[in-house]
Structure 1
Amino acid sequence: MRILIAGAGATGGYFGGRLLEAGRDVTFLVRPARAALLAERGLRILGPEGETTLTPRTVTADDPGGPYDLILVAVKSYGLERVLADLAPAAGPDTVVVPLLNGMRHVGALTGRFGPRQVWGGVCMIHATLNDDGDVVRMTGLHRLAFGPLTAEPDDRLDAVTAALTGAGFDSRPSSRIVAEMWEKWVLLASLGAATTLMRASIGEINAAPGGRRLTAAVAAEAVAAATAAGYEPRPRAREILEAQMSTGERTTSSMYRDLVAGRPVEAEAILGDLVREAAGRGVPAPLLEAAYTGLSIYTASR
């Protein structure tokens, strides 16, 4: 199976790198500068298990090749519109497109471009970033991937996609309820992102401060209420994970917080803005989510 990874940042670089290491036929669609860096240094993955250096095959938008059997879209939400045009010649009529983006807005954009049969859902969970050298740094042992068709209708491509994405050194599985899982991740990311960017601190630091635990619990409750009103109430296990993450004493942060303090663009619209609008449209109060979104909007406008 020919696999194209759109993006070789922390997410695409990690999962694509592990697939490459496992012997899968992997190509990375990247910008020219990233292609040059990968040609010079290789794709380096640093993590709890040590360091791995791989030699990736890269293509750029002017000649992406294709068609590919499977495309993993691993860009930030604010980079999706640009990459959509780049992917058009890489997809054939039977290509499966699995997005590893945050929130839900990307589903409509991708299905509008490729059609509902080609676009599946995807959820990745990983604590990773790029360092100053452009290497992928995995900060914890978490590396989980779930994928599956957006509807319950059988898809004869599922077995082949499952074979391609499993057994590659990370936790991976097909899901028959991928949309619900995407919402559960969205609730978690919005809760972590709102609390850490609003307070400019890690979850552990917030919880150690006066009133901090009430604040983190209230943020999570707002996110759960918004999802529930939309018809996607998190399952008990997802609620347990959310509670554990938001009550921890560890220095847990969010990718939005790390991007914010580094002066980089943030995914405020996809992670917080859309959820705030979901809540408002259903009459669900979400003052803390709104405050965090307002703050990040001011930050974005000032860049």
Structure 2
Amino acid sequence: MRVLVLGAGATGGFYGGHLMQAGENVTFLVRPKRHAQLMENGLVVVSPQGNIIRPVQAVTRVSKPFDLVLLSCKAYDLDAAIETIRPAVGPETRILPVLNGLNHLDRLDAAFGAERVMGGLCHLTITMDPDGTIRHLHAFNRLTFGARSPAQAPLAEALAQAYAKCPITVVNSPDIVHDMWEKFYFLATLAGSTTLMRAPIGAILKAPGGLAFITGLLDECTRVATAAGHPPSAERDAESRYHLTKEDSSLSASMMRDIEKGGPTEGEHIVGDMLRRGRDLGLDLPLLTLATTHLRAYEARRTAG
């Protein structure tokens, strides 16, 4: 299987590196600065489940199709990513996006055709140092992917077999869109609440009205998922409520940290998209509206300088 990984950042480097360890033919499509790092130091992943230090195939542009394109960019970089990978997408190519939310599926379907676009998500705590070293910060990790149409099933199975050789948790899901919804509604709640309050979950819960705010926002996102035909399972609902109401929790969305740094966010792709979907379904969502308005105001101020 010839695999192209767009970028060799934290997520792409981690999952692309493990495919290399499994013996697959992996190429990283990267910017010149990252290319220089990889040529000098190789791919370096420091992980509780075993380090990866090895030379890699890396290019700054592509001109021929691959069997699989692994896409792990930020949502706000998706338009540029689509044009970057376009030469790598042929008639039989499958694209596996590992992005948060769901909005990117529509954009990738429009660009390449739904028959080429699989579904995927990951749970991974990871970062990358300035020198390019990728640091896996917690032993827990899970990559979930799956076919959105029967024609994609053979490649999904081949990918699952490749990752079975690696010391990581991988799930080839029979209902990947539902799995993506179960992460989406939780993440929209976490991002909406911690960005609006500029505080982790535990600090919000200490404030009068904090619990009611978080559970109210979770209820609104649950209503959207349910109306869209993807109600969270009882197990997932219990897990979400546990993490979002744990009084000593330091949990916050990476989106909050993006705001604290003054950078762009995936707010429109996650919180804003949840609101759009709910409004299209005729739902009244006051807390989700407030969280989205806040994120849009932040972006308006940031882009205005």
Give the Å deviation of 1:246: 0.7
Q: Is the 8 A contact 1:67 1:91 kept in 2?
A: yes
Give the Å deviation of 1:194: 0.8
**5+ unaligned residues in a row in structure 1: which ranges?**
none
Give the Å deviation of 1:181: 0.7
Give the whole-Å Cα distance in 2 for the aligned partners of 1:159 and 1:49.
23
What is aligned with 1:33? 33
Give the whole-Å Cα distance in 2 for the aligned partners of 1:302 and 1:237.
40
Q: Which deviates the most, 187-196 or 36-45?
A: 36-45
What is aligned with 2:299? 300
Aligned length: 301
Which structure's residues are more often strand, by fraction? 1
| Secondary structure, counterpart of 1:137 in structure 2 | strand
Give the Å deviation of 1:34: 2.2
Give the Å deviation of 1:50: 7.0
Which of 201, 206, 209 does residue 207 from structure 2 map onto?
209
Q: Deviations over 1:88-132 (max 9, x none)?
A: 211222111111011111111212222222111111111223344
Distance 1:257 1:133, change over 3 A: farther
Q: Is the 8 A contact 2:49 2:167 kept in 1?
A: no
Give the whole-Å Cα distance in 2 for the aligned partners of 1:251 and 1:100.
25
Give the Å deviation of 1:51: 5.3
Q: Which amino acid counterpart does residue 10 of structure 1 have in structure 2?
A: A
| Secondary structure, counterpart of 1:68 in structure 2 | coil
Give the Å deviation of 1:178: 0.4
What is aligned with 1:82? 80
Q: How does 1:270-289 map to 2 (within 5 A)?
A: 270-289=269-288
1:8 aligns with 2:14: no
Distance 1:268 1:24, change over 3 A: same
1:254 aligns with 2:253: yes
Segments of 4+ moved more than 6 angstroms: none
Give the Å deviation of 1:190: 0.6
Give the whole-Å Cα distance in 1 for the aligned partners of 2:14 and 2:293.
32
TM-score of the aligned structures, taking structure 1 as reference length: 0.91
Give the whole-Å Cα distance in 1 for the aligned partners of 2:44 and 2:263.
22
1:150 aligns with 2:148: yes
Give the whole-Å Cα distance in 1 for the aligned partners of 2:270 and 2:86.
26
Give the whole-Å Cα distance in 2 for the aligned partners of 1:210 and 1:52.
47
What is aligned with 2:216? 218
Give the whole-Å Cα distance in 2 for the aligned partners of 1:54 and 1:290.
47
Which of 231, 235, 238 does residue 236 from structure 2 map onto?
238
| Secondary structure, counterpart of 1:157 in structure 2 | helix
TM-score of the aligned structures, taking structure 2 as reference length: 0.90
What is aligned with 1:121? 119
Give the whole-Å Cα distance in 1 for the aligned partners of 2:249 and 2:126.
17
Q: Which deviates the most, 15-24 or 111-120?
A: 15-24
| Secondary structure, counterpart of 1:26 in structure 2 | strand
Distance 1:157 1:44, change over 3 A: closer
Q: Deviations over 1:29-60 (max 9, x none)?
A: 12222222333443333444575434332112
Query: What is the percentage of aligned positions where both structures have the same residue?
Result: 39
Q: Is the 8 A contact 2:115 2:151 kept in 1?
A: no
1:181 aligns with 2:179: yes
Give the Å deviation of 1:274: 0.8
Distance 1:56 1:32, change over 3 A: same
| Secondary structure, counterpart of 1:106 in structure 2 | helix
Q: Which deviates the most, 52-61 or 140-149?
A: 52-61
Give the whole-Å Cα distance in 2 for the aligned partners of 1:129 and 1:154.
31
Q: How does 1:124-135 map to 2 (within 5 A)?
A: 124-135=122-133
Which of 195, 198, 201 does residue 197 from structure 1 map onto?
195
What is aligned with 1:60? 60
Give the Å deviation of 1:210: 2.7
Give the Å deviation of 1:296: 1.7
What is aligned with 2:17? 17
Give the whole-Å Cα distance in 2 for the aligned partners of 1:130 and 1:200.
24
Q: Is the 8 A contact 2:37 2:131 kept in 1?
A: no
What is aligned with 2:97? 99
| Secondary structure, counterpart of 1:150 in structure 2 | coil
Give the whole-Å Cα distance in 2 for the aligned partners of 1:236 and 1:146.
20
Q: Which deviates the most, 7-16 or 224-233?
A: 7-16
Give the whole-Å Cα distance in 2 for the aligned partners of 1:110 and 1:127.
26
**5+ unaligned residues in a row in structure 2: which ranges?**
none
Distance 1:251 1:86, change over 3 A: same
